[in-house]
Structure 1
Amino acid sequence: MKKIISMLLIVCLLGVLASGCGSNMQTVDSIKDSGKLIIHTNAGFAPYEYLSNGEVVGVDMDIAKAIADKLGVELVIEDVKFDTIITSVQGGKAALGVAGITVTDERKESVDFSVTYATSVQYIIVPADADVDTIEDLAGLKIGVQLGTTGNFIIDDEINGIDEDDGSHTKGVLEGTGAECITYNNANLAAAAMDSGKLGAVVIDKLPAEIIGQKYGEKFKVMELVYEDGSKTTEEYAIAIAKGNESLLEVVNEVLAELKNNGKIDEWVLYHSENAVMDEE
């Protein structure tokens, strides 16, 4: 009898937990009921998200506003650390993660992704007099990255190597060279650290790198991250949505399709690339 009661309690507890998890999901209906679309971003990634006069703006914010307009609700932007965005969406703190998020298999285990809306590659920023042409030339340097980004993962793997599932170890091109990966909450902070002599290089996505290069002028040089064998990086951005939130995913994909077809995303990229004001906090 005690076993039966215990099993019933476990079943009830699991049911409560399941319903609690489900209630955290910000569906189209719950968003419309609340009148707000809450998104999480990290405003240090111009032209996609950056601060201008204290307001978070950028390509991604324009996309998010179009989604909010489609739903007929107010857009609420919360500026958070980049490496918390996936878990925030997963846990229901935000309906969407809109932050130039690269689609990866690892992230797909935690969230669903919209259709992709932009393609990028990794770039290296170094002092103008640095003798750097490839990632291998970063040997022995302190390399700044934005925490939780593709650049962070690439530099970590190249410094530490990769332990494969079969027990083998793939050596990284910077492994054993004395190179260090230093993380920052955004690329602007990393660039400022390099400007003050604390770093030898910064690795970040193409457009943010180019904007940083424009800001610092002749002090820095900016180049695509390539390997000595000629191989390069490539990635695609998408919007993160809680797993199984099909109603919201459908709306997001519909809006993205409209924005790509009418050329608005390209228009916003051009505008914000020219007008980005980098936050230096």
Structure 2
Amino acid sequence: MKKILALLTVVMVVVFVGCGKEKEVKTTEKVYVIGTNAEYPPFEYLENSKIVGLDPDIMEEFSKRMGFQYKWANMNFDGLISALQTRKVDIIIAGMSISDERKKYINFSTPYISPAMCYIALKTSPMTTIEDLENKRFGIELGTTEEDIVKKVPGAVIVPFSGHTAALFALKSGKIDSMLLDATVAKKYLENNPDLKTVVTVEGENKAMAFNIEDVELKDKFDKVLKEMMEDGTIDKLKAKYGI
């Protein structure tokens, strides 16, 4: 009888230990931290304190198809790449343009959108052509590739800002003359600010998600699913939802 009781005790211990391990695995499951800058409608913006837009919808679709959980890390755009390098975030999805300089430090996914770009100004401004932009002051968000494009304008004066919202206030108060934005973003800004206009539209850049330079396998997994989403029309449907 004692031997039977002892055996049962051992079995119960093994069962409880096994259950404990199973529970531990579930609670330590990887939760991806997604870095973004929610000041860029319709790509990502705040609505009732929630991050919404094209990029959040795309990330939610990834989550459903790949079966992972995630949380957002909303920060200034110029802090995103360093956060990725130091692994404070796992992935960036923030309307980020692909550039050769950035490729030195991070990995990009397959591009999922390539919008045109617009120079905007106050409606009272006499500017109507690319030549009119010469020797003007441009509000540029720190860390973006917009600066590289604006520098091609003769005599352009770059005025840096921590975000597009701050640059927009400066434009409306006359501290700068123009801003360069993705056409889809410019459209949203003009809808909400009837005192603004588009001066001229120029060629845009490819945009993609970004991964740590060492996370090649993770990038490849996302690229595989992104390809499926592009081929089955999901990306186009989400873009249409936001008028892109």
TM-score normalized with structure 2 length:
0.81
Query: What is the CA–CA distance in structure 1 between the aligned matches of 2:117 and 2:237, rounded to whole Å?
Result: 22
Change (3 A) 1:70 1:37: farther
C-alpha RMSD of matched pairs (Å):
2.2
How far has the Cα of 1:256 moved from its partner?
Answer: 1.2
The size of the alignment, in residue pairs, is 219
Query: What is the CA–CA distance in structure 2 between the aligned matches of 1:224 and 1:263, rounded to whole Å?
Result: 31
Query: What is the CA–CA distance in structure 1 between the aligned matches of 2:236 and 2:199, rounded to whole Å?
Result: 22
How far has the Cα of 1:139 moved from its partner?
Answer: 2.8
How far has the Cα of 1:145 moved from its partner?
Answer: 1.8
Is 1:151 aligned with 2:146? yes
Is 1:256 aligned with 2:233? no
| Alignment correspondent of 1:6 | none
| Alignment correspondent of 1:220 | 196
3-state secondary structure, aligned to 2:94: strand
Q: Point out the more displaced range, 99-108 or 69-78.
A: 69-78
Listed as ranges, the gaps of 5+ residues in structure 1 are 1-31, 159-172, 226-231, 275-281
| Alignment correspondent of 1:174 | 154
190, 198, 202: which one aligns with 2:175:
198
| Alignment correspondent of 2:55 | 60
164, 185, 201: which one aligns with 2:162:
185
Is 1:87 aligned with 2:82? yes
- CA deviations on 1:233-266 (whole Å, 9 max, x unpaired) are 3310111011131221122112211221222222
102, 115, 120: which one aligns with 1:120:
115
When Rg is computed on C-alpha atoms for both structures, the one with the higher figure is 2
Query: What is the CA–CA distance in structure 2 between the aligned matches of 1:43 and 1:93, rounded to whole Å?
Result: 17
How far has the Cα of 1:121 moved from its partner?
Answer: 2.3
3-state secondary structure, aligned to 1:266: helix
Letter in 2 for 1:241: F
Letter in 2 for 1:245: D
TM-score normalized with structure 1 length:
0.71
Query: What is the CA–CA distance in structure 2 between the aligned matches of 1:145 and 1:202, rounded to whole Å?
Result: 7
| Alignment correspondent of 1:266 | 236
- Cα pair 1:67 1:251 within 8 Å, conserved: no
Change (3 A) 1:35 1:94: same
Is 1:75 aligned with 2:56? no
101, 105, 114: which one aligns with 1:110:
105
Q: How does 1:18-33 map to 2 (within 5 A)?
A: 33=28
How far has the Cα of 1:99 moved from its partner?
Answer: 0.6
| Alignment correspondent of 2:3 | none
